[in-house]
Amino acid sequence: MKVEYLVIHHSFTKDGLVVDWKAIRDYHINTNGWDDIGYHYGIEKVNGDYVIISGRSEDTNGAHTKEQGMNSKSLGICVIGNYDLGEPDKRAFDLLVILCVGLCKKYKLTADKIRTHHEYANYKTCPGSKFPMDKLRNEADRMLKEG
Ligand SMILES: [Zn+2]
């Protein structure tokens, strides 16, 4: 897979006390019949602190944005939580910026290649109507230009 974009998602579920990533992964495998969770990375709060969790390997097509062939040209990143209800926690957001900047550097992408699921599937608000997407692109852009 040639990575041309990063696509940001939310889980649309409340971030619980336990590892919700596992429940999502189980659902994708057992209910959807997929080989693995549909996303390449996730961000969630585990034992009181936010962590980046790996999903599918980066060289495997995703199963997160079927529109416009995006699964074969983007990495899917899911921030656990429902961001129709409010903005993500600052620590989750900061971790997402770091993850995106690292991936942009690795694949030589500019910050405008960080997209939302909603941009391809306008029937969804994913990653949430309150998600600060402009802020994400602006901060990533600033960090990429600093080098
Ligand atoms: Zn989504």
- Work out the angle at residue 133's Cα, subtended by the Cα atoms of residues 29 and 109, and round it to the nearest 5 degrees: 80
pLDDT value for 13: 82
- Work out the angle at residue 126's Cα, subtended by the Cα atoms of residues 124 and 129, and round it to the nearest 5 degrees: 95
CA of 34 to the centre of ligand 1 (A): 16
The percent of residues above 90 in pLDDT, for the chain, comes to 88
- The dihedral of CA 132, 111, 7, 55: what is its sign? negative
CA of 107 to the centre of ligand 1 (A): 22
Q: Does the pLDDT value for residue 19 go beyond 80?
A: no
Model pTM score: 0.95
CA of 9 to the centre of ligand 1 (A): 4
CA of 49 to the centre of ligand 1 (A): 23
Q: How far is CA 9 from the centre of its chain?
A: 5
pLDDT digits (tens, 9 = 90+) for 25-80: 999 999 999 999 999 999 999 888 999 999 999 999 999 999 999 999 999 999 99
